[in-house]
Amino acid sequence: MTTSSNGDLFTLKRRPPSEKFLDIGFRQLVIVLASLVAIVLLGILLTVVHGSEEAFKQFGFSFLVKSSWNPVNEEYGAFTAIYGTIVTSLLSLLIAVPLGVGTAIFITENLIPLKLRNLIGLMVELLAAIPSVVLGLWAIFVMEPFLRPILNWLYEALGWLPIFSTQPLGPGIAPAILILVVMILPIITAIARDSLNQVPPELRQAAYGIGTTRWGAILQVILPAAVSGITGGVMLALGRAMGETMAVTMIIGNSNNFSLSLLAPGNTIASMLANQFGEADGSQVSSLMYAALVLMVLTLVVNIFAQWIVKRLSLKY
């Protein structure tokens, strides 16, 4: 009697096969789900490369430097759009980086009470949540009419410069740059804020201890220590600015005529895709796919470079 119950207690219970099957099956399932990421990524690449094959055979690399876009003659060159993508994203970055980093410093250093700082942080994060199409709507009906007298004044005062050489007539590259600033500012601020918060307090205390002022510490100790994270954030923002579609499409004017002037309407690859893809057919689809491939390569390079920079530049304290 006792032996049998003891025997029951101490016999090794094997898992029933159904449970084993579930266990192994679940493991296989999550591996498959995880590899879906890779499959989707490869799928995107293959679709875009395959779609652009025809245009690539026809135009080769001259597609990248020609600015004609003529669906009637089936002549395509994406230079205007590539130039627009690079100019808008770089110039918006030029404005957004000082603004974003300055804001991040303002809400991480204790210049104002914590509650106020958290409020500003929350508002910047909520700005990131506003859909780009709503910002575009706002840009069309509020920002652009407000901006036009200022741009007109720029044209009249500095019209001899090639970048201000056309009269602003509504949508154009300059308003697009400003709306891009609004869109990437939250990214830069959020990442700069995180990297500033991660700087060890000892560094700051040491700087204060040898008698520096607050901004002496910020500019010479804290910012250099946080520079890797901030640079990574800036690169991510650059990638986002290049791929940003809706707000830019609504305000840039979508013109394929190349112009150096920032006040003239222009085009970016993303806005060209948004505008023409739906109605395109034949070789235009292939040319648009080619442009999409260029955009994808640009953002991929920027993003991978961003990840590399964060790994490479991160200071070891």
Partner 1 sequence: MTIATQSLFERQSLHRQPNLPRNRWNVFFTVLAGFFALIAVLPLLLVLLYVLIKGGSLISLGLLTQLPPAPGTSGGGIGNAILGTFLVTLVASLIAIPVGVGGGIYLAEYSRGGWFQSFVRFGTNVLAGVPSIICGVFIYGLIVATRLLFGESYSAVAGGIALSVLMLPTVIKTTDEGLKLVPQELRWGAIGVGASKFVTVTRITLPTAFTPIATGVVLGIARAAGETAPLIFTALFSPFWPEGLLKPIATMSVLIFNFAIMPYEAQNALAWAASFVLVMLILGANLFARWLSRFASST
**151-190: which residues touch partner 1 (CB under 8 A)?**
182, 185, 189
Q: Do 63 and 155 form a contact (C-beta atoms < 8 A)?
A: no
Shortest distance (Å) from residue 289 CB to partner 1 = 7
> Which range, of 86-94, 157-165, 222-230, 240-248, touches partner 1 by CB under 8 A?
240-248
Residue of the chain from 234, 246, 252, 309 that contacts partner 1 (CB under 8 A): 246
Nearest CB to partner 1, comparing residues 151 and 295 = 295
Of the candidates 76, 224, 240, 283, which one interacts with partner 1 according to CB under 8 A?
Answer: 240
For the beta carbon of residue 143, count every other beta carbon within 10 angstroms.
Answer: 17
Question: Which residues within the stretch 52-91 sit at the binding site for partner 1 (CB under 8 A)?
Answer: none
Q: How far is the CB of 156 from partner 1 (least distance, A)?
A: 25
Tokens 């003891």 appear where? 6
Query: Taking the complex as a whole, how short is the minimal distance between the CB of residue 95 and partner 1, in angstroms?
Result: 10
Fill in the amino acid letter for 78: A
For partner 1, the closer of residues 49 and 227 by Cβ is 49
- Tell the smallest beta-carbon distance from residue 193 to partner 1 (Å): 11
Q: How far is the CB of 141 from partner 1 (least distance, A)?
A: 7
Single-letter amino acid, residue 270 = A
Give residues 132-151 in contact with partner 1 (rule: CB under 8 A): 132-138, 140-142
Query: DSSP for 167-224?
Result: ---SS-HHHHHHHHHHHHHHHHHHHHHHHHHTS-HHHHHHHHHTT--HHHHIIIIIHH
Is 311 a residue that touches partner 1 (CB under 8 A)?
A: no
**Cβ–Cβ < 8 Å for 71, 284:** yes
Region 23-42 residues binding partner 1, contact defined as CB under 8 A = 23, 26-27, 29-38, 40-41
By CB under 8 A, residue 296 contacts partner 1: yes
- The site string for partner 1 over 196-225 (x = CB under 8 A, - otherwise) reads -----------------xxxx-xx------
Per CB under 8 A, the list member of 75, 274, 283, 314 interacting with partner 1 is: 274
User: Which segment (1-9, 68-76, 198-206, 246-254) binds partner 1 by CB under 8 A?
Assistant: 246-254
Residue 138 near residue 178 (C-beta atoms within 8 A): no
Cβ proximity to partner 1, 36 vs 158, nearer residue = 36
Confirm or reject binding of residue 226 to partner 1 (CB under 8 A).
no
Nearer to partner 1, 209 or 278 (CB): 278
The residue from 53, 74, 102, 312 that contacts partner 1 (CB under 8 A) is 102
Name the residue nearer to partner 1 (CB basis): 125 or 156. Answer: 125
Cα torsion 80, 82, 85, 86 to 10°: value is: -110
How far apart CA 74 and CA 94 sit, in angstroms, is 37
